[in-house]
Amino acid sequence: MLYPYLSTNENGHLTIAGHDTVSLAQKYGTALFVLNVDRLQENCRIYVDTLRECFGDNAMPLFASKSLSFTGIYTLMNRFGMGTDIVSCGELYTAKKAGFPLEKAFFHGNNKTDSDIAYALDNKIGYFVVDNEDELLRLSAIAKEYGITQKILLRITPGIDPHTHKAIVTGSVDSKFGKAIETNQAYEIVELALALDNIELCGFHCHIGSQIFECQPFCDASDCMLAFIHEVKKRYHYEAKMLNLGGGFGVRYVESDPEVNIADNIRAVAAHVKTKCQEYGLSLPYILMEPGRSIVADTTVTLYTVGSVKEITGFRNYVSVDGGMTDNPRYALYQSAYTVLTANRMNEEADYACTVAGRCCESGDLIQENVMIAKPERGDILAVLTTGAYNYSMASNYNRLPRPAILLVGNNYEKLAVRRESFEDLCRLDLDL
Ligand code: LLP
């Protein structure tokens, strides 16, 4: 099985952390996200422990909460020793509701409105990750009105293209995020930040991409960022105290994806950071990393009930489920690969080729094409693995479908963290005419 906490019980049912998924589907209904909280803790521990091993107290992992945001996840992240990255005041509000210590929150985004800035200052957010001059100037002005000095990092584009990284140093300069080193604009924004009142420049941030399996692009990015810190020191006599290396480590969705050893990757990046600091005569900055996918993706399985099996002679077989792009838009958006299992027929041969379709009025509403599963029939339970990241957080109410519940499970633990949306919830914002 793709993950060790998934197994098959004596009834031939898929289990997650020892819980029978077919019983969970009956008890809570489908579609249902089932999140293994023990796995979540293990994933956090890898980052917390390995960063500590490499940098002592001089580092912290931040959970990129765009990958999964609901009140309880911030409670758990705080419990498991993580800071957080937020990209909107909605995420900030959710973290605040959970009592998350906002001094450990980093506010991202390429277009923070004046009211976003004010809201974050009202809530004493730890750091802004400033994207551009417009934001920087407004932040300085608004912080002045508040009579405070706001700590910031600047988002820098190191020019590493993780997908064709051997060709290096050109690719991702054309990005809506951050300021590029290559065009010199990164230096210009540093100069501005150093000159502005009510702004304390603490260091720099970069993020090179997501679902990256190789370690080299991260090492290259850290080399690049330290060269930048060195050059900034030479030019402006300012030495960065913090370096945020972003997120992006890949996760296994299907057997053919490589295994990623996150701890080893962190160690490799740490070695680069240390070597370059020595080479450039820099003090070791406080190191941040911002994983999202590699914290939550492999914690979760989505359970669906099969509604119909349609065999189109000479074409293909469609298996329709009671969910779809509304709870998992990633196949429709990126043709992402997923592992699909017939959860109540785990001992049967997976010899039925089919397309798993959602129930939206949209031909592109597919969960997966060309998968081999044990032949299902109406009423069977399908499990789609590795759905913890960018599924619930990207869910929608298209066709007025209520969003699924999120159930936490663990060793002798079962607790609903997000209840299923009701029809009443769907009409909550609608006003009578
Ligand atoms: N930090 C920043 C600034 C980011 O933009 C992101 C992801 C992360 C951290 C976390 O990256 P991760 O460790 O999760 O790879 N919706 C897409 C993924 C978008 C990622 C956006 N930024 C998907 O479903 O694959």
Kindly give the confidence (pLDDT) of every residue in the chain, 433 residues in length, as a single tens digit, with 9 standing for 90 and above: 899 999 999 999 999 999 999 999 999 999 999 999 999 999 999 999 999 999 999 999 999 999 999 999 999 999 999 999 999 999 999 999 999 999 999 999 999 999 999 999 999 999 999 999 999 999 999 999 999 999 999 999 998 878 643 433 444 788 899 999 999 999 999 999 999 999 999 999 999 999 999 999 999 999 999 999 999 999 999 999 999 999 999 999 999 999 999 999 999 999 999 999 999 999 999 999 999 999 999 999 999 999 999 999 999 999 999 999 999 999 999 999 999 999 999 999 999 999 999 999 999 999 999 999 999 999 999 999 999 999 999 999 999 999 999 999 999 999 999 999 999 999 999 999 9
CATH of the domain at 325: 2.40.37.10
Final residue of a domain: which of 291, 321, 352? 291
Residue matched to tokens 């990393």? 289
Please report whether residue 235 resides in a domain: yes
Q: Are both 360 and 286 inside the same structural domain?
A: no
Q: 328 CA to middle of ligand 1, Å?
A: 16
Question: Does a structural domain hold residue 32?
Answer: yes
The mean pLDDT of the chain is 96
Nearest alpha carbon, ligand 1 atom 16: 390
Q: Are residues 267 and 366 in the same domain?
A: no
Residue 103 is assigned to a structural domain of this protein: no
Q: How far away, in angstroms, is 373 Cα from ligand 1 center?
A: 30
* Full-model pTM: 0.97
Please tell me whether residues 282 and 422 are part of one structural domain.
no
pLDDT per residue over 199-227, tens digit each? 999 999 999 999 999 999 999 999 999 99
User: Does residue 270 contact residue 226 with C-beta atoms inside 8 Å?
Assistant: no
243 and 350 in a common domain: no
Distance 268 CA to ligand 1 centre (A): 21
Cβ atoms of residues 306 and 318 within 8 Å: no
Residue 388, ligand 1, Cβ within 6 A: no
Decide: 207 in ligand 1 pocket, CB within 6 A. yes
Do 332 and 273 share a structural domain?
A: no
Domain assignment present for 306: yes
Split into its structural domains, the chain has a count of 2
The strand ranges marked E within 290-431 are 300-311, 317-321, 340-342, 352-357, 366-373, 381-385, 405-410, 413-418
Active site residue 361: yes
Residue 129 shares a structural domain with residue 242: yes
- Whether 52 is covered by a domain: the verdict is no
Instruction: Tell me how far the alpha carbon of residue 186 lies from the centroid of ligand 1, in angstroms.
Output: 22
To test the pocket of ligand 1, the residue of 43, 62, 63, 67 to mutate (highest count of ligand atoms within 8 Å of its CB) is 67
381-385 and 300-311 strand pairing: antiparallel
Tell whether 12 and 124 lie within a shared domain: no
DSSP character string of 37-77: HHHHHHHHHHHHHHHHHHHTTSEEEEEETTSS--HHHHHHH
pLDDT number for residue 17: 97
Give me 335's structure tokens.
């043709």
pLDDT of 170 reads 40
Are 33 and 304 contacting, i.e. CB atoms less than 8 angstroms apart?
no
Residues 135, 252 within the same domain: yes
Same domain, 250 and 377: no
Any long-range contacts for 264-271 (C-beta under 8 Å, 24+ apart)?
Answer: 264/215, 265/215, 265/218, 266/46, 266/47, 266/50, 266/51, 266/54, 267/50, 267/53, 267/54, 268/215, 268/218, 268/219, 269/215, 269/218, 269/219, 269/222, 269/245, 270/51, 270/54, 270/55
SS3 state of residue 185: helix
Q: Looking at the structure, tell me whether residues 287 and 321 fall in a common domain.
A: no
Question: The domain spanning residue 186 has which CATH number?
Answer: 3.20.20.10
CA dist 302 → 4, 84, 325, 371, 383 (Å): 17, 25, 12, 16, 6
The rounded distance, in Å, linking the Cα atoms of 397 and 401 is 5
Pocket flag, ligand 1, residue 290 (CB < 6 Å) = yes
Instruction: State the residue range of the domain holding 12.
Output: 6-36+297-426
The closest-lying atom of ligand 1 relative to the alpha carbon of residue 389 is: 24
The reply to whether ligand 1 has any atom less than 6 angstroms from the CB of 291 is yes
Q: Where among 291, 316, 336 does a domain terminate?
A: 291
Q: Is 117 helix (H, G, I), strand (E, B) or coil?
A: helix
Which residue out of 44, 89, 215, 361 is catalytically annotated?
Answer: 361
DSSP 8-state assignment for residue 206: -
Nearest to 126 by CA among 98, 148, 110: 148
**What spacing in Å lies between the alpha carbon of 61 and ligand 1's midpoint?**
14
Q: Which of 291, 310, 326 is the last residue of a domain?
A: 291
CA of 369 to the centre of ligand 1 (A): 24
Atom of ligand 1 lying closest to residue 62 CA: 9
In a domain? residue 62: no
Give yes or no for a contact between 71 and 419, defined as CB atoms under 8 angstroms apart.
Answer: no
Residues 240 and 276 in one domain: yes
331 found inside a domain: yes
Rounded Cα gap, residues 3 and 339, in angstroms? 11
231 and 287 fall within a common domain:
yes
Of 210, 251, 336, which is best to mutate to test ligand 1, by the most ligand atoms within 8 angstroms of its C-beta? 210
Q: What is the distance between the alpha carbons of residues 19 and 280, in angstroms, rounded to a whole number?
A: 53
Token output for 244: 């945020």
